[in-house]
A and B are shown apart, each in its own frame.
Chain A
Amino acid sequence: MTAPTAPPELVQLLTPEGERVEHPDYDIDLTAEEIRSLYRDLVLVRRVDLEAVALQRQGELGLWASLLGQEAAQVGSGRALTDADMAFPTYREHGVAWCRGVDPLHLLGLFRGVNHGGWDPYEHNFHLYTIVIGSQTLHSVGYAMGIQRDGAEAATIVYFGDGATSQGDVNEAFIWASVFNAPVVFFCQNNQWAISEPLEKQSKIPLYKRASGFGFPGIRVDGNDVFACLAVTRAALRNAREGNGPTLVEAFTYRMGAHTTSDDPTRYRVADELEAWKLKDPIERVKAYLFKNQLADQEFFDKIDAEADQLGKDLRARCLALPDPEPGAMFDHVYAEPHALLAEEREQFTTYLAGFEGAQ
C-alpha cells in the first residue's frame, strides 16, 4: 500500500509548508483579517470534533463521525457560500455546519439519540444530515431546479465522499444537474477511504474526471488547503449562480480518524500513510503562513486556543444537559396533518403509560 500522491493537476494555493503559490485559473486575495478568521474556524471546528469524540468515548454520544483532517475542505467550501445558497451535507459536515452558523449542540443531538436531526434547515440554509450515502445529491439538484424556477440568485452545494460516487443516486444527480443545467456544486471530499475500502474499489479514474462524461467541468483541489478550497468553490458557485450549470469539485484530502467511533482503521490501513498525511495538516500550514508573514503573533494563537477550550467545555456541559425526549415525542411530526392511526396509537400508548403512575 503506497500513500496516495497528489497529481500535478491539483489546485493548490498554500503548500503544506505554508508557502503561498499561484495558480493561473484560481487566485484569491484575502486580507490578514480574513486569513485569521479562517484559521479560527479551522481550530474551533477541530475542537468541536475532538470534544465530540471524547463525549462518545465517555458514553455520552452513541456514535460520532469525526472530520479530523477535512477541516480545510469544509471551512473553505463553507465560507464560499452566500446566505442565499443552500448546503446539503452528509453526516460528517460539522465544519460546514459551523460556517453556516448551526449550533454544534444540534449536531450532538442526533449522535446522542435525542432526535434524528432537529435543526431548522431553513434558518441557516443548511439541510439536515443525510445518513444513507448519496441520497442528498438528488435533493440538492431538485432544490437547485427550484432556484431556477424562482429566478433567484443562489446555488446549492452538496457534500459527499469518494464512496458515494459509486451510488446510483449520485450518478442520477449528475445527469439531472447536467440536462437541466441546475445551479449546483457537487463537492466530493475524497478522503481516500469509504470505511475500509480504498479509492481503488470505487474508481479506476480520478474522481473529478467523472464530470466530463456527464457534460460539466470537474476540478481537483488540495482539500487540505483552505485557500484553494475557498477559491475553487467560490468560482464554482458563482458559475452556477450565473446560469452556467454544475461543477464537480474533488477535494483531495484524508480521513485522519476512524470512519466513525465504531470503526477500527488499524485493520485495513498502514500507519505510514497516516504519517505522510500528518505533514499536510490543514491547520499547520495556515499557522505557518500567518507566522512567516507576521500576520499573527503568539498572543493571537493563544487567544484562539483559549476560545477553543471554552467552546469545548461549554459544548460538553450543554450536551450533558440535553434532556431525553418524552416518550410521546415519537408520535410528533410523523405527519403534518391529522392521522387517525397515529392518533389512536398515541392515545393507547398514553393510557398504557398512565397505568404505571403511582406504581412502585
Chain B
Amino acid sequence: MTTLTLAKALNEGLRAAMDADSKVLVMGEDVGKLGGVFRVTDGLQKDFGEDRVIDTPLAESGIIGTAIGLALRGYRPVCEIQFDGFVFPAADQIITQLAKMPLRSLGKIKLPVVVRIPFGGGIGAVEHHSESPEAYFTHTAGLRVVACSNPVDAYTMIQDAVRCDDPVVFFEPKRRYWDKADVEFGAPGLPLDRARVVREGDDVTLVAYGPMVKTCLEAAAAAEEDGRSIGVVDLRSLNPLDMPVVREAVERTGRCVVVHEAPIFSGLGGEIAARVTEQCFYRLEAPVLRVGGFSTPYPPSRLEDHYLPDLDRILEAVDRVFGY
C-alpha cells in the first residue's frame, strides 16, 4: 500500500499501462517535460522517451485526429485534453470519427483511444476551466464514458481504459486531484463498466460520479447525525450505465436523488431518473429528484460556490424527497 493523490494514482496507472504494452502512447499539450498542467504525466517522457510521450502542437482536433491515425497503425494513444472547456475543437474528431469509424468499417477497425479530460469546478479558475461536458459524450454512440472519483479507482480505471478496445472518454475530477488514499500497485479493480455502492443506506439513495461522490458521502455522514440512513452509488461508468447496481440500491430505499455538477436540464441525471422510474416504479416512494448546475454558463469563480451542488443543496433535496 502506498498513499497517493488521485493525480499521482493516475500517473502510476499510466506508467503501469506503458510498461505493460509498448504500443501505449501519451500525447497532449505540455504532457512532456512539464508533466501536464496537473502533473498527471509527470516523469513519463523522461522514462519512456519523446516517441511515446508526445508534446503536441496546440490544437485539440489535431490531438484526437492524429491519435486516430496512430490507433489505425496499431498504437493505443492516451490523449490529454488540458481542460474540459478546451475539448470542443476536438468534438468533431471525437464524435464524427473516433466514435463512428469502427462501425463504418463493420468491425475491421478498432480504435483503442483514451481521451482524458479533467472536469468540473471548485478550483477558482477562469472561464472554460470548470465545465462538466460529459452529457455531450454519453449521448454519442460508439464512445464509452467513465469518471473516476478517488485514487484507488483512478489507478485501475485508467489502466482498464487503456486496455479497452473501444474509445473511452475518461473524466477526471480536477478538484479531487489532491485527495489521497492508499493504493495497492498491481491490484485489479472493479470492471470499467461497473458502478459501486460506496455507502449502504436504507432511507434514500444518492447517485453520483466524479467529484460529487465525495460531496454525497459528506452529506450522508451529516444526515446520519439526524438519523437518516443515506446510501451512495458511485456510477464510475456513465455510458454504459450499470443499472442493476443502481436499481438494487434504489429498491432498498425507495427514494433516489441524482447529483452532478453539470446543468440539470438535458443532463445525465434526467436519463438516470427516467431509467430508475421505469425499473423501480412500484418501489418508489417519491419521484427521482436531481441536484446539479443551473441552466447558465459556468459562472465566474466568485459565484461557483453558489452554482455547485454542496452538502446543503443535497440535503435540501433529501428533505424534499421525503416530502412526498
Chain A residues with a Cβ under 8 A of chain B: 115-122, 127-128, 130, 132, 135, 137-150, 168-169, 172-173, 175-176, 179, 332-337, 339-342
In this complex, which of B51, B102, B106 has the most chain A Cβ atoms within 10 angstroms of its Cβ? B106
A335-B166, A336-B107, A340-B193 as given contacts; A121 in contact with B61, CB under 8 Å: no
A142, B142: Cβ atoms under 8 Å? Answer: no
Decide if the interface of chain A is mainly helix, strand, loop or mixed: helix
- Residues of A contacting B166 in the complex (Cβ-Cβ under 8 angstroms): 335-337, 339
- B65, A138: Cβ atoms closer than 8 Å: yes
Task: With a 10 A CB-CB cut-off, give which of B64, B240, B243 has the most chain A CB atoms.
Answer: B240
Contacts of A150 in B (CB 8 A): 73
**Contact between A334 and B103 (Cβ–Cβ < 8 Å)?**
yes
A175 and B62 form a contact (CB under 8 A): yes
Which residues of B have CB within 8 Å of A335? 102, 142, 144, 166
Residue of A nearest to B72 (CB): A143
Closest to B55 in A: A179
Query: Could you say which residues of chain A place their CB within 8 Å of the CB of B69?
Result: 138-146
On chain A, the residues within 8 Å of B109 by CB distance are 121, 128
Check A121/B70 contact, CB under 8 A, given A135-B92, A334-B141, A340-B193.
no
B residues less than 8 Å from A127 (CB atoms): 72
Interface centre among B65, B68, B102, B108 (most CB of A within 10 A): B65
Query: Which stretch (B32-40, B93-101, B124-132) binds chain A?
Result: B93-101
Contact (Cβ within 8 A) A341 B65 = no
How close is A337's CB to chain B, nearest CB, in angstroms? 6
In the bound complex, do residue A118 and residue B68 qualify as a contact, i.e. CB atoms below 8 Å apart? no
Q: With a CB–CB cut-off of 8 A, which chain A residues contact B56? A: 176
> Within the complex, what minimum Cβ distance (angstroms) separates B228 from chain A?
31
State A146–B76 Cα separation when bound (angstroms).
Answer: 11
Residues of chain A lying within 8 A (CB to CB) of residue B68: 138-139, 142
A138 CA / B101 CA spacing, docked (Å)? 14
Given A172-B59, A340-B193, check contact A118 B106 (CB 8 Å). yes
Instruction: Collect the chain B residues with CB atoms within 8 Å of residue A120's CB.
Output: 105, 108
Whether the pair B240, A340 counts as a contact (CB closer than 8 A) is yes
- A119, A141, A340: which has the most chain B beta carbons within 10 Å? A340
Residues of A within 8 A of B242 (CB): 340
B276 CB, nearest partner CB in chain A, Å: 15
Q: Can you add 4 more A-B contacts, CB < 8 Å, to A143-B73, A337-B165?
A: A116-B103, A142-B69, A145-B66, A336-B102
Closest-by-CB residue of A relative to B106 is A118
> A50 vs B306: C-alpha distance in the bound complex, in angstroms?
64
What are 8 A-B interface contacts by the 8 Å CB criterion? Answer: A116-B100, A122-B108, A128-B104, A139-B72, A142-B66, A143-B69, A168-B61, A340-B241
Q: Are A334 and B142 in contact, with the CB atoms below 8 A? A: yes
Complex contact B240–A128 (CB within 8 A): no
Instruction: State A172–B57 Cα separation when bound (angstroms).
Output: 9
Other-chain residue from A117, A142, A143, A147 in contact with B105 (beta carbon distance below 8 A): A117
* A142 and B101 form a contact (CB under 8 A): no
Chain B residues with a Cβ under 8 A of chain A: 51, 56-57, 59, 61-62, 64-75, 89, 92-93, 96-97, 100-110, 141-142, 144, 164-166, 193, 239-243
- Report if A116-B70 is in contact (Cβ < 8 Å); known contacts: A175-B57, A340-B242: no
* Chain A minimum-CB-distance residue to B65: A138
- The CA-CA distance from A35 to B64 in the complex, in Å, is 41
CB–CB B65/A142 < 8 A? yes
The answer to whether B66 touches A132 (Cβ under 8 A) is no
Alpha-carbon separation in the docked complex, A141 to B165 (Å): 22
Chain B residues near A132 (CB, 8 Å)?
A: 92, 96-97
Q: Which residues of B contact A138 (CB under 8 A)?
A: 61-62, 64-66, 68-69, 93
For A115, give the chain B residue with the smallest CB separation: B106
In the complex, the answer to whether B108 meets A121 with C-beta atoms within 8 Å is: yes
B73 in contact with A339 (CB, 8 Å): no
Which residues of chain B come closer than 8 Å to A141, judged between CB atoms? Answer: 65-66, 69
**B144 contacts across to A, CB distance below 8 A:** 335, 339
Closest to B243 in A: A340
- Interchain CB contact under 8 A, A333 and B101: no
User: How far is B104's CA from A52's CA once the two chains are assembled, in angstroms?
Assistant: 21
For the complex of A and B, list the 8 residue pairs with the smallest distance between their C-beta atoms, beginning with the closest.
Answer: A142-B69, A138-B65, A146-B73, A142-B66, A172-B62, A336-B165, A333-B107, A143-B69
CA distance A146 to B69 in the complex (A): 8
Whether B73 pairs with A147 at a CB distance below 8 angstroms is yes
Q: Which residues of chain A have C-beta atoms less than 8 A from B100's C-beta?
A: 116
Q: How far does the alpha carbon of A339 sit from the alpha carbon of B192 in the complex, in Å?
A: 11
Residues of A within 8 A of B96 (CB): 132, 135
| Cβ–Cβ < 8 Å partners of A119 in chain B | 108
Contacts of B66 in A (CB 8 A): 138-139, 141-142, 145, 176
Residue of A nearest to B71 (CB): A142
Q: Which residues of A contact B141 (CB under 8 A)?
A: 334, 342
| Min distance, Cβ B155 to any Cβ of chain A, angstroms | 21
